[in-house]
Structure 1
Amino acid sequence: MPLLAIVYFSISGTTESLAHAVARGADGIAHVALCRITGDDIVSGRFQNESLLETIDRASAVAFGSPTYMGGAAAQFKAFADASSDRWTQQRWANKFAAGFTAGALAGGDQLHTLTYFSILAAQHGMLWCGLDIPGGEDPSGRNRLGSQLGLATHLVGGLLPQSDVSTAEYLGQRLAATASRNG
């Protein structure tokens, strides 16, 4: 079975809930490593967690997750991405499959920019992007509610994470793990 590394930062627990949903979707298809970026990983503004980076080195697939703050990924996630440049120069993550998920404060809260950032990060590393193949607004279960084909974008409704978005996260994990399994 391939290894799926789910690399995420979460402050309020919403992105962590999505990370766990991605993991549930991959269950039985891939081994899963939940790789939470914490404040302790950032030293003088620089991400320093070699163990987390080595987990990604071993993975066949990676799911990137961060809340959307001010139109982009959280600074803690960005510190991780910046620290990955050592791997970039060696293309150590080339040909791994990648996907992304994010949550914002509003339905139109610029989550697409965060997903675009993740896809560009993956492209720089030579990774292969795995988006959603659920047409927005067309799924009978309500998955991909906000219609983002690039990855999962969500926001809280009445202070709660919609079940349809949790289901979308599970599907994204299943799709990413199955893609890595078929092609690994």
Structure 2
Amino acid sequence: MTKAVVIYYSGYGHTQHVAQYVAEGAHAQLIAIDNNGEISEQEWEALNAADAIIFGSPTYMGSVAWQFKKFQDATSKVWFTRGWQDKVFGGFTNSASLNGDKQVTLITLQTLASQHGGIWVSLGLLPANTLASTRNDVNNLGGSVGALIQSPSDAAADNIAAGDLETAKLYGARVADIARRLRG
């Protein structure tokens, strides 16, 4: 069986809510980066043992949250040993705005995976881009690199559009499926 891990930072609960959907789709373990940007030694071991790692961070001021960045920098210890070489990776982000420069965050996550010698999985879903499309449609924000989520700034995490949450779940399933197929 393929082992997948979703590692994320959530400042207000929205990214955590999305991470749960991604993990459900991937049948993955969830690891939360704490408010100091750290995870436990056991969680590092889970990442090292995973076949697939899915990163998640809110987009703050056009990039990942500083707590995720601290975790990102700490992965350099693994990078030196090529410990994540050829693992399958994916990533998701959310912000209050429909765009909010989310693409920059996804590129940051994709670059991190590439620096580790990983294999990045795209979203693989056509955008919902017709006049009849709604926020309840899958990939209604038109992502390609990874899952894009919009979290209204004045709403609780359980008010994220159903289409965004279904996109997150489908993306988790896609990453896990590709990891399974590559593992053979």
Where does residue 54 of structure 2 map in the other structure? 63
Q: Are residue 22 (structure 1) and residue 22 (structure 2) matched?
A: yes
Counterpart contact for 2:5–2:23, Cα < 8 Å: no
- Percent sequence identity is 35
Alpha-carbon distance between aligned partners in 2 of 1:119 and 1:133, rounded to the nearest angstrom? 15
Where does residue 73 of structure 2 map in the other structure? 82
Between 12-21 and 154-163, the greater mean CA deviation after superposition: 154-163
Alpha-carbon distance between aligned partners in 1 of 2:121 and 2:49, rounded to the nearest angstrom? 19
* Counterpart residue identity of residue 25, structure 1: G
Q: Are residue 37 (structure 1) and residue 33 (structure 2) matched?
A: yes
Alpha-carbon distance between aligned partners in 1 of 2:147 and 2:39, rounded to the nearest angstrom? 27
TM-score (norm 2): 0.90
Counterpart contact for 2:129–2:142, Cα < 8 Å: no
* Counterpart residue identity of residue 34, structure 1: L
C-alpha displacement of 1:57 = 0.5
Q: Are residue 8 (structure 1) and residue 8 (structure 2) matched?
A: yes
Where does residue 101 of structure 1 map in the other structure? 92
Question: Mind listing any 5+ residue stretches in structure 2 that lack a counterpart?
Answer: none
Alpha-carbon distance between aligned partners in 1 of 2:14 and 2:39, rounded to the nearest angstrom? 24
Please give the secondary structure, in 2, of the residue aligned with 1:135. coil
Alpha-carbon distance between aligned partners in 2 of 1:97 and 1:48, rounded to the nearest angstrom? 20
* Counterpart residue identity of residue 143, structure 2: S
Task: Provide the aligned C-alpha RMSD in A.
Answer: 1.7
C-alpha displacement of 1:146 = 0.9
Q: 1 or 2, which has the higher strand percentage?
A: 1
Match of 2:117 among 121, 126, 130: 126
C-alpha displacement of 1:50 = 2.4
Alpha-carbon distance between aligned partners in 1 of 2:148 and 2:170, rounded to the nearest angstrom? 13
Match of 1:114 among 105, 118, 125: 105
* Counterpart residue identity of residue 153, structure 1: L
C-alpha displacement of 1:14 = 0.7
C-alpha displacement of 1:156 = 2.2
Counterpart contact for 1:53–1:84, Cα < 8 Å: no
Alpha-carbon distance between aligned partners in 2 of 1:86 and 1:75, rounded to the nearest angstrom? 18
Alpha-carbon distance between aligned partners in 2 of 1:19 and 1:65, rounded to the nearest angstrom? 7
Please give the secondary structure, in 2, of the residue aligned with 1:93. coil
Please give the secondary structure, in 1, of the residue aligned with 2:143. coil
Question: Mind listing any 5+ residue stretches in structure 1 that lack a counterpart?
Answer: none
TM-score (norm 1): 0.90
* Counterpart residue identity of residue 25, structure 2: G
Counterpart contact for 1:48–1:83, Cα < 8 Å: no
C-alpha displacement of 1:21 = 0.2
Alpha-carbon distance between aligned partners in 1 of 2:71 and 2:26, rounded to the nearest angstrom? 23
C-alpha displacement of 1:36 = 0.4
Q: Are residue 136 (structure 1) and residue 127 (structure 2) matched?
A: yes
